[in-house]
Amino acid sequence: MAFNSADIGAFKNVWVFCEQRQGKMMPTTFELISEGRKLADELGVELCGILLGDNVDAIAPELGNYGADKVYVYNSPLLKDYTTDAYTKVISEAVEEIKPEILLFGASNIGRDLAPRCAARLHTGLCADCTHLDIDMPIYKNFLKEASTLPAERIEKLGTVKINGADHDVSRDIKMTRPAFGGHLMASIFCPRFRPAMATVRPGVMKKRECKKNVEILHPAFNLTEADIKTEVVEVVKAAKKLVDLIGADFIVSVGRGISKDVEGGIKLAEELAEVLGGVVGSSRACVDAGWITADHQVGQTGKTVHPKVYIALGISGAIQHKAGMQDSECIIAVNKNDTAPIFEVADYGIVGDLFKVVPELIESIKAA
Ligand code: FAD
């Protein structure tokens, strides 16, 4: 079913797809609920979670701790394991029935698979991999002025414009921001003609904020049979090695290509420094591409977005794609032998020098303190 502009006034409330695995809510869900609360408050509407699984009622109230007003729960043994067919069907039909105006997914493996399917099924737009979400009328008006055939005075004068003959309140459009052209510019994307406006949001970008609500748990009727599911989950294989938890870490010591003259020694120094601080080791993409460290350590646009208390960058130049993942850290310390390295532009403390000399001294002084 396609919703065109004539229908968009019927859509209300902000929805968040609440990703759970084996009955445990994924951290991104709480980040999105907090962000969804902000948007819902700006629009003066309700924030609702949509939670799919098998017997997942027990975890639904957790969403009330971060600001959800309602949770729509869909329980079925057919939803126990994630399958694209089943989840797409249930979510798309729920959207057609209840009509949220905004629908957010985490840009996790599941979110990246599910959101485009739902968007295609619902004939609406999807902005993938967002780093910022806003309700921003002035920018939207400028956008309309430039991109639309509507007369400028109409856009200026009215909070409502006509799109395909229907009234549309421009102040209610979500501005979705995401990196474009390899991270060299940030693009603002609007979805004025279709509903819901859909976005996937990078894990770790939005901050989780507590906000207690008396959450209402609802169980709408739905239709799902085995015939709707064309795939079968045969086995779930856990990663053999425990992946590094960059997103939850307070201290991150990241290495860059600056360790190239002694890769093993450089990583060992970073591990020692991380250990004395009680932190973990991150890296730039250069080290991952060179095969020096595994991809779960990568910070940046195509890696993880982190905001630890302290981020230490060792031999990292500070390319825009790296900064995109760490510049919101509370305190940034950079060690680089080139005093013009761009990493110093975002660093709170900079040490110009050879990391192989500086880091052992840092470790010693922390141990002595
Ligand atoms: P370099 O840029 O080579 O910098 C090495 C630094 O080490 C230099 O500043 C040098 O002065 C310093 N140095 C050398 N020796 C020493 C020493 N002994 N002591 C101290 N300092 C020393 N990059 C990411 O990191 N994360 C991403 O997610 C990411 N995504 C990308 C996505 C796209 C689409 C593209 C196009 C690129 C992406 N990149 C990403 C790559 C990015 O553009 C840079 O190439 C990369 O970040 C550079 O890594 P680096 O800083 O380790 O290496």
Per-residue pLDDT, averaged over 74-100, amounts to 96
Residue of 257, 273, 281, 320 to mutate, ligand 1, most atoms within 8 A of C-beta: 257
* Ligand 1 centroid – CA 204 distance (Å): 21
Amino acid at 185: L
Q: How many CB atoms lie within 10 A of CB 243?
A: 10
Backbone angles phi, psi at 134, to 5 degrees: -150, 155
Per-residue pLDDT, averaged over 70-91, amounts to 97
| Ligand 1 neighbourhood includes 337 CB (under 6 angstroms) | yes
Residue of 337, 354, 358, 359 to mutate, ligand 1, most atoms within 8 A of C-beta: 337
Tens-place pLDDT, residues 101-121: 999 999 999 999 999 999 999
d(CA 68, CA 263): 47
Check whether 159 has a pLDDT greater than 70. Answer: no
With the CA atoms of 162, 166, 171 and 174 taken in that order, what torsion angle do they form, in degrees rounded to the nearest 10? -110
| Ligand 1 neighbourhood includes 104 CB (under 6 angstroms) | no
d(CA 181, CA 341): 22
* Ligand 1 centroid – CA 53 distance (Å): 41
Tens-place pLDDT, residues 313-334: 999 999 999 998 999 899 999 9
| Ligand 1 neighbourhood includes 290 CB (under 6 angstroms) | no
**Beta strands in the chain, from DSSP E residues, in sequence order:** 14-17, 20-21, 24-25, 47-53, 70-75, 102-106, 126-130, 132-135, 160-163, 166-169, 174-180, 185-189, 197-201, 216-218, 251-255, 280-283, 310-314, 331-336, 349-352
Q: Confidence class of residue 135 from pLDDT cuts 50, 70 and 90?
A: confident
**Which of 76-90, 120-134, 194-208, 228-242 is predicted least confidently?**
228-242
Q: Residue 185: its pLDDT value, please?
A: 80
Q: Confidence class of residue 165 from pLDDT cuts 50, 70 and 90?
A: low
| Ligand 1 neighbourhood includes 354 CB (under 6 angstroms) | yes
Q: Residue 164: its pLDDT value, please?
A: 63
Q: Confidence class of residue 205 from pLDDT cuts 50, 70 and 90?
A: confident
Q: Confidence class of residue 162 from pLDDT cuts 50, 70 and 90?
A: low
CA gyration radius, the chain: 23
**Which of 43-47, 181-185, 300-304 is predicted least confidently?**
181-185
Per-residue pLDDT, averaged over 14-24, amounts to 96
| Ligand 1 neighbourhood includes 336 CB (under 6 angstroms) | yes
Per-residue pLDDT, averaged over 46-58, amounts to 97
Check whether 140 has a pLDDT greater than 90. Answer: no
- Judge contact between 315 and 351, C-beta under 8 A: no
Q: What is the pTM of this model?
A: 0.74
Determine the number of helices (DSSP H) and then strands (DSSP E) in the chain.
10, 19
- Report the chain's mean pLDDT, rounded to a whole number: 90
Two tokens, residue 48: 């609702």
Check whether 197 has a pLDDT greater than 90. Answer: yes
Residue with tokens 């956008």: 143
Tens-place pLDDT, residues 219-236: 999 999 999 999 888 888
Share of the chain above pLDDT 90, in %: 70
Q: Confidence class of residue 180 from pLDDT cuts 50, 70 and 90?
A: confident
- Report in angstroms the alpha-carbon separations of 36 from 26, 77, 334: 16, 28, 34
Amino acid at 142: N
- Judge contact between 127 and 178, C-beta under 8 A: yes
Which 8-state DSSP code applies to residue 220?
-
| Ligand 1 neighbourhood includes 182 CB (under 6 angstroms) | yes
Binding site listing for FAD: 257, 284-285, 298-302, 315-322, 336
